[in-house]
Chain A
Amino acid sequence: MSEAKILGTDDEQLDVSGKTRSTMRLPNLDLPEEDRELYCDARPKAVAPYRGVLEKFANWARANSLWILGFGTGCGAIELRPLMTSRFDMYRYGIQPRPTPRQSGVFIIGGYASVKTLKRIVRSYEQMQNPKFVLALGSCTINGGMYWDSYNTINRIDHYIPVDVYIAGCMPRPEALIAGFGKLKELIRAGKAEGANQYAENFDWYKANQKRIIRDWNMPDYNW
């Protein structure tokens, strides 16, 4: 990218001290030129899948080894615990939790996302590697659910990150979650779960929605 392309917000009202500062400063602004590219100035790129048997084989491997991110976003996290323990045991389906977004492939949005949580969700989602999948639990992700008229929770998560499977409920029970994972596996094997590429292609729309909601944008535009 060229010189200081400040992609931050230029909202004057955020300047509480009354001094005229026109934009928020990105963390990579003061770095020397050769280090700046290490810090998220580039946009995401859509990566085309392989073709033929190779992609089918890769999709089979991805469907049978789903690594979920251990980030309990909302009240859906309470349903993840029985899913991991002896009674419902998701491990036998190849689903394993990983603590870091770098290594995980599935992001489970567990319920309502407040504005504060949405900032962290976006930051974690963008650190995951292509291909990545999103499972949205509960009615709050679909149309706002119980908190549809709240000043602090969003109504539709798919305006901010692409979603593959919605699992209805408030919260859905672990059996419903396993059924949702089964549907996700079907989508992956059919090659239809291309959320990462969809995010890269519609990056401006997603980013505009996110910036409209998240007012104090103090992170890079794309947190790879």
Chain B
Amino acid sequence: MISETGTDNGRSLSGSRLAPTVGDLERRFDLTDAYAQRNSLGFVTVEKGDLIAILTHLRDGLGFKHLVMLTAVDIIERGILRLVYLLHNHELVADLGVQVEIPRGEVATGGDAAGARNGAGHNGDTLRANGLESAEEVIRPYFTEMESIHHLWAQAATYQRELKEMFGVHFPGSPRVDEEFALEGWKDIPPMRRDFDTREYSERTFFPRPGRVTHDPVEYMKKQMYPDQPESIGGGA
């Protein structure tokens, strides 16, 4: 499991296939942390400024040519967003996750929409209807930003679009990063952030049908035996 404090977790790297790779990286760069989850999967944590150089070196020099995915973890307790760049090496048949911690940002900044709340998006129809020519004229407000890697892998542009919409991370220069991706007409904060209460939003916006009950035996026994304790997150009527 990915540990939140960043200490060594799981097996050490010495027995895994990634040992030579991580050794090479440690000689060239500063790694905050490195561990192996299993023989073929390891994670290293790097500084934000080194990221592009490390990814370029991994892609060109060490054979990690395949970008599997780019995703983010919102660690609200420490006030950071951890971006995870998962790369794959076809010769070693191993995955390496490069993790970067960036400040998660509490206030929406930047962007052109002074009147809009955090995160109003737009698509092609909205642009034409409002008389705008292209999406480059509009920047959606964002909470934090990071360098884009779309020049290394073209498909990173799609992941970066998703991260912008869901977490509020701006990637300047990434193609079409300010266009709406999966949500249309979204006007609230980016929904994957931990301070967004999705259950409350759903009950406020959509029309919940009253009388929803659960027959989960765990919940039932909890109510029977500990009636004073608060409900758990996932269940309850």
Interface on A for B, CB 8 Å cutoff?
Answer: 12-19, 21, 24-25, 115-116, 119, 142-144, 148-156, 159, 209, 212-218
Q: What is the CB-to-nearest-CB distance from A30 to chain B, in angstroms, rounded to a whole number?
A: 11
| Residues of A close to B132: CB separation below 8 A | 17
CA–CA, A150 to B198, complex, Å?
6
| Residues of A close to B183: CB separation below 8 A | 115-116, 152
CA–CA, A142 to B207, complex, Å?
11
Minimal Cβ-Cβ distance residue in B for A159: B207
CA–CA, A106 to B82, complex, Å?
48
- Which chain B residues numbered 148 to 206 have a C-beta less than 8 Å away from chain A? 182-188, 191, 196, 198-199, 201-203, 205-206
| Residues of A close to B206: CB separation below 8 A | 144, 153-156, 213
| Residues of B close to A18: CB separation below 8 A | 112-115
B198→A151 contact, CB < 8 A: yes
Residue from A16, A119, A217 in contact with B116 in the complex, judged by beta carbons closer than 8 Å = A16
Tell me whether chain A's interface is mostly helix, strand or loop, or mixed.
loop
Q: What is the CB-to-nearest-CB distance from B61 to chain A, in angstroms, rounded to a whole number?
A: 41
Most buried by A among B116, B137, B138, B198: B116
Q: What is the CB-to-nearest-CB distance from A122 to chain B, in angstroms, rounded to a whole number?
A: 13
B125 at interface by CB-CB < 8 Å: yes
Q: What size tier do the contact residues of chain B reach?
A: 35 or more
Given contacts A14-B187, A16-B126, A18-B112, 16 further A-B contacts (CB under 8 A): A16-B120, A16-B122, A18-B113, A24-B126, A115-B183, A144-B212, A149-B198, A151-B202, A152-B182, A152-B191, A155-B202, A155-B207, A156-B209, A213-B205, A215-B184, A216-B125
Q: What is the CB-to-nearest-CB distance from A150 to chain B, in angstroms, rounded to a whole number?
A: 6
Minimal Cβ-Cβ distance residue in A for B121: A16
| Residues of B close to A218: CB separation below 8 A | 125-126, 129
